[in-house]
């Protein structure tokens, strides 16, 4: 049973529930007290020890149900497979029949089920009109209980290491492997033998066995499917996520947006947990007279415990100006998504969108969900050729008063100004007034000075310029933003 727990922990880990070895040990210790008999109790115990926040609890719930449920697997196939499953099974049929002739002769196969001799004998006495099946699997199918069969299936599954399954195309392979392990060959052999026999009872038995075999195949396939969802699905997802993090955002296809959104939330969450601690930076050398006086009263007013001034690192006040014209809109989308996912640690984000005229979209993003807000922003501001000069002018007119020495301004855009007036002097003004101006450019650095790009003029008026074209870049930028907020 310990192995089962370890397996389950592995499943949880692939499903992104963080479980430490110490927690696994805790579970073992706890099980000594609660035992396995009471399922609800067992589940509650595991849930308390392994899943430690509401989201993890939810994941745990599904994983537990998938992992520890056997009965459902047994009931579903009785109703018969759904049509699309039938197609699958045809493919197997071919495979199997191709294999049949070479099947090894002899009654008992490599079956390792729980069909023990005594059980078979019992059945023999009870079953008069049809002779008992001789192969181990046949006995198990016709006479064993469902749980016996399930145990055999699980054991076979473990023997062929079904938990190593990685991609869905392996499902067929593992179904076969498990069937073989359970003694399919011997069963096939028996069916053919009995079908050829003249006795009606024999033939009836053959029919029965055949039906049972087909049912079993469905069950095994279900079982493998479940195992696949448990072990491999999340693994594949992780691979995909790694890939998506590195891909250029403008190359993202629409169907991936949802995945990316998930990743953004995940990254944001990580950042939140790293940065939710408000650091104090100590300015050693500056004595805090008031604090020292107050603190040293208890020592009779003798100053021997000195207190120094410290500064709390404030949450950054962020103003985010995003180019939403065609080429850059995807980047803006994810930057905004990122910033708004961080609402917990950077509560004051004001966002502006422009292609030529600048408009504030803060309220829009706060009140509606990202997809809608983004769509509306695109509709309202996305048209027209980019004009950075106009944007800066608008910013100066509307928002310059709100910029103070705690504000970080992020500009996201390719700085392609269609040869218009760049008005870099306004950016200079922003540079002087704010704490930091960060320019994020999705183009590679080598393209920054080519064509109508104005980075040459804008660059010196920023505290920091960064290439930013994938999620990894985005994460780095936002993380830096939080780190150096002081």
Partner 1 sequence: MPDALLARAVQPLPVALPNLFKRGSPLTLDRDEHLATIEAIHSGLAGLNYISNEQIATAVFLAYHLDKPVLIEGPPGVGKTELAKSVADMLGISCIRLQCYEGLDESKAIYEWKYGKQLLYTQVLKETLGEILDGAKGLTESVAKLHEFGDVFFSEEFLEPRPLMKALKEEAGCVLLIDEVDKSDHEFESLLLEMLSDYQLSIPEIGTIKANPDRKPLVFLTSNNTREISDALKRRCLHLYIPFPDADLESQIVQARVPEVPAELRRQLVTFIQALREMDLKKVPAISETIDWAKALILLHTESLDADLVKQTLNVILKFQEDIESVTGEVQMLTNKALKGS
Binding site for partner 1 (CB under 8 A): 18, 20, 22-23, 26, 29-30, 33-34, 40-41, 44-45, 47-49, 51-54, 57, 272-273, 276-277, 298-300, 344
- Nearest residue (CB) to partner 1, 169 versus 367: 367
The DSSP bridge pattern shows strands 317-323 and 407-412 to be parallel
- Nearest residue (CB) to partner 1, 41 versus 486: 41
- Nearest residue (CB) to partner 1, 51 versus 430: 51
**What tokens does 76 get?**
């579903």
Give me the phi and psi of 360, to 5 degrees please.
Answer: -85, 135
The answer to whether 468 and 477 are in contact (CB under 8 A) is yes
Rounded Cα gap, residues 64 and 56, in angstroms: 12
CB of 18 to partner 1, least distance (A): 7
DSSP count for the chain of H helices, then E strands: 22, 8
CB of 141 to partner 1, least distance (A): 38
CB of 284 to partner 1, least distance (A): 18
**What tokens does 132 get?**
């008992």
- Nearest residue (CB) to partner 1, 277 versus 379: 277
- Nearest residue (CB) to partner 1, 23 versus 360: 23
CB of 481 to partner 1, least distance (A): 19
Helix runs in 35-164, H state only: 39-50, 54-68, 71-75, 83-99, 117-126, 136-143, 146-159
CB of 306 to partner 1, least distance (A): 17
CB of 277 to partner 1, least distance (A): 4
Rounded Cα gap, residues 137 and 184, in angstroms: 7
- Tell me how far the alpha carbon of residue 218 is from its chain's centroid: 29
- Nearest residue (CB) to partner 1, 60 versus 334: 60
Three-state DSSP at 429 gives helix
Helix runs in 249-313, H state only: 257-275, 289-296
- Nearest residue (CB) to partner 1, 54 versus 126: 54
**What tokens does 191 get?**
């069916």
The answer to whether 362 and 393 are in contact (CB under 8 A) is no
- H or E segment at 176? helix 171-181
CB of 472 to partner 1, least distance (A): 23
E strands, 144-268, where?
A: none
Rounded Cα gap, residues 358 and 413, in angstroms: 13
CB of 29 to partner 1, least distance (A): 6
Q: How would DSSP label each residue in 379-415? A: HHHS-S---HHHHHHHHHHHHGGG--TTEEEEEES--
**Length of the chain counted residue by residue:** 486
DSSP 453: B
- Nearest residue (CB) to partner 1, 193 versus 288: 288
- Nearest residue (CB) to partner 1, 45 versus 139: 45
CB of 22 to partner 1, least distance (A): 6
């Amino acid at each position: 049973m310990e192995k089962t727990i370890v397996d389950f922990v592995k499943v949880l880990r692939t499903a992104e529930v963080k479980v430490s070895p110490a927690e696994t040990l805790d579970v073992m210790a706890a099980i000594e007290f609660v035992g396995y008999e009471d399922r609800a109790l067992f589940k509650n115990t595991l849930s308390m020890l392994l899943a430690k926040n509401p989201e993890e609890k939810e994941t745990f719930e599904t994983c537990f149900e998938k992992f520890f449920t056997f009965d459902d697997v047994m009931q579903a196939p009785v109703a018969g497979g759904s049509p699309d499953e039938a197609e699958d099974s045809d493919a197997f049929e071919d495979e199997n029949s191709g294999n049949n002739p070479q099947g090894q002769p002899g009654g008992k196969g490599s079956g390792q089920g729980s069909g023990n001799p005594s059980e078979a004998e019992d059945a023999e006495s009870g079953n008069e009109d049809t002779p008992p099946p001789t192969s181990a699997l046949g006995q198990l199918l016709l006479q064993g209980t469902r749980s016996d069969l399930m145990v055999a299936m699980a054991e076979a599954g473990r023997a062929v290491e079904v938990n190593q399954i990685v991609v869905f195309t392996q499902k067929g392979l593992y179904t076969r492997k498990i069937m073989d392990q359970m003694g399919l060959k011997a069963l096939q052999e028996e069916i053919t033998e009995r079908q050829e026999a003249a006795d009606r009872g024999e033939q009836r038995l053959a029919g029965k066995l055949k039906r049972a075999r087909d049912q079993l195949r469905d069950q095994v396939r279900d079982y493998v499917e479940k195992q696949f969802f448990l072990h491999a699905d999340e693994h594949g997802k992780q691979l995909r996520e790694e890939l998506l993090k590195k891909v250029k955002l403008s190359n993202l296809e629409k169907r991936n947006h949802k995945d990316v959104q998930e990743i953004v939330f995940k990254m944001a969450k990580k950042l939140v947990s790293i940065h939710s601690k408000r650091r104090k930076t100590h300015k050693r050398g500056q004595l805090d007279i008031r604090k020292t006086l107050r603190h040293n009263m208890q020592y009779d007013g003798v100053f021997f415990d000195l207190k120094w001034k410290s500064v709390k690192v404030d949450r950054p006040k962020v103003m985010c100006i995003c180019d939403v014209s065609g080429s850059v809109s995807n980047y803006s989308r994810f930057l905004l998504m990122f910033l708004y996912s961080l609402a917990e640690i950077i509560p004051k984000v004001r966002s502006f969108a422009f292609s030529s005229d600048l408009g504030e979209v803060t309220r829009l993003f706060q009140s509606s969900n990202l997809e809608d807000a983004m769509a509306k922003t695109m509709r309202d501001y996305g048209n027209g050729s980019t004009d950075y000069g106009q944007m800066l002018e608008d910013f100066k007119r509307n928002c310059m008063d709100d910029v103070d020495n705690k504000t970080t301004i992020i500009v996201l855009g390719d700085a392609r100004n269609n040869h218009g007036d760049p008005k870099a002097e306004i950016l200079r003004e922003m540079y002087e007034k704010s704490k930091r101006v960060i320019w994020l450019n999705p183009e590679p650095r080598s393209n920054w000075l080519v064509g109508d790009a104005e980075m040459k003029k804008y660059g010196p008026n920023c505290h920091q310029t960064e290439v930013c074209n994938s999620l990894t870049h985005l994460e780095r930028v936002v993380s830096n933003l939080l780190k150096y907020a002081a």
